Structure 1
């Protein structure tokens, strides 16, 4: 009887330590499926150099027209060098990015670490992107200007990251959405736009990053998925043994 009880307690312990991380992983998958089913995203500029034929795309050098809206991305050099790392091929500068929509500044200028001489849209990778959003539920389209805000950000630090997303609709109305890493769970579409645009120093989740931390055979296959299922199996076997011993 004591062995059976120990067996059941072992199963319960495995279930207990596996339940919360497994819940977080499932939660991320559910949210991602929801966003992917509702929204379709399309890049407006060649931010990742997917089209290799020269010359490199530099559409941001002039106003971009989208469904009657004119979008301008203006940069100004602060004269300050951006923090360096051993991986930097060329020195970067801290520059201010100003967004104009239909001739009007829609929000305050933000900092970005960019090459001293910008030669293509890909220079803005991880700092700015223009994405068209199709909402399949409401049958509407929007243009999103996705920005990572460099002000007070330390290179490689995930927690201090902030973003700004300017939404522009077909009626020439614009709204500004600003949020940080800490409150990203209230901005599900915003997180998807950030990930789509590669505008984060590491992969982040909608509410938890656990599902994206060092995936391997051990995690999440062995733990928490395997340990959770093993725990259930052990508990079932334990109860079967207990009933036979009565």
Structure 2
């Protein structure tokens, strides 16, 4: 095997092992870019407020929409997480959340674990309300995001409830499963934005959500892909150059 063949083989190996993860990374960034270009998302409460604070059950009024939360006690306590144990935090209550829009219940009540911590909100990592503006149409909607699975469930088993309230007060509800998240890309964005994901998740894969280091993704797969393409171009140019020389020699 000559040097050119070795160079081509090496470049193809680099591309083969790099192209799939690179495609996954580019796909995640492209979807994120598309959503950010299309939608503007912000929390429904003012910056000076802490939604779901430790002292009061929250109630929000947004234009003509009054959103109220009523807690139904279950007499159950949430199991302590490792962070709770490290910080000597007592177990929080498990309650069922009733959601009311203009004093009418709009969803089946589901359980959440109340936070007993002095920082963060009462419903931290479980519940949030956001306002979404479609930049293309100018329409606004309110989205209520609630995690349905508890802290001990693995990521692949997690589910969320997303309630949409339109400007006309039409209400719809969807359950988003982690395993089917690519069917609702805006829903994934809302879950990540609301902080109810516990761990950030991607639209198709979580490849961009890990902590970057020198090796990934800068050396692999980005640098390996660039080097593979560069070496392949060089090797193909060498092959073409040799073919031209061979044709010239035959003509002579």
The DSSP-based 3-state class of the residue aligned with 1:178 is strand
75 and 16 in structure 1: CA distance in 2 versus 1, 3 angstrom threshold: same
CA distance in 2, matches of 1:108, 1:196: 23
**Aligned mates of 1:156, 1:218 — CA distance in 2:** 30
Deviation at 1:181, TM superposition (A): 0.2
For residues 29 and 93 of structure 2, what CA distance do their matches in structure 1 show?
38
Q: Distance in 1 between matches of 2:40 and 2:56?
A: 23
Distance 1:229 1:8 in 2: 14
SS of equivalent residue, structure 2 residue 203: coil
In structure 2, what is the Cα distance between the partners aligned to 1:225 and 1:42? 33
CA distance in 2 between counterparts of 1:73 and 1:7 reads: 65
Is the CA contact (8 Å cut-off) linking 2:14 and 2:228 kept in structure 1?
yes
After the TM superposition, which parts of structure 1 deviate over 4 Å for at least 4 consecutive aligned residues? 56-60, 118-121
Provide TM-score, normalisation by structure 1: 0.88
Number of matched residues?
238
Tell me the CA shift for residue 120 of structure 1: 9.2
SS of aligned partner of 1:218: coil
Contact 1:131-1:144 within 8 A present in 2 as well? yes
Higher relative contact order (CA 8 A, sep 6+): 1
Partner Cα distance (2:174, 2:125) in 1: 18
Partner of 2:80: 84
Structure 1 residue 41: Cα displacement: 1.0
Q: TM-score, normalised by structure 2?
A: 0.86
SS in 2 for 1:212: coil
Give the corresponding residue for 2:225. Answer: 228
Seen in structure 2, the aligned counterparts of structure 1 residues 32 and 21 have a Cα distance that, compared at 3 Å, is same
SS in 1 for 2:230: helix
Question: Highest CA radius of gyration, 1 or 2?
Answer: 2
Q: Residues 216-240 of structure 1: CA distance to partner in whole angstroms, max 9, x if unpaired?
A: 2211111111000111111122223
- Could you tell me which runs of 5 or more consecutive residues in structure 2 were left unpaired when the two chains were aligned: 244-252
* 1:199-232, Cα deviation, whole Å (9 max, x unpaired): 1121100111011123122111111110001111
1:9-33 Cα offsets, whole Å, 9 max, x none, are 1101110111111111111111111
Q: CA RMSD in A?
A: 2.5
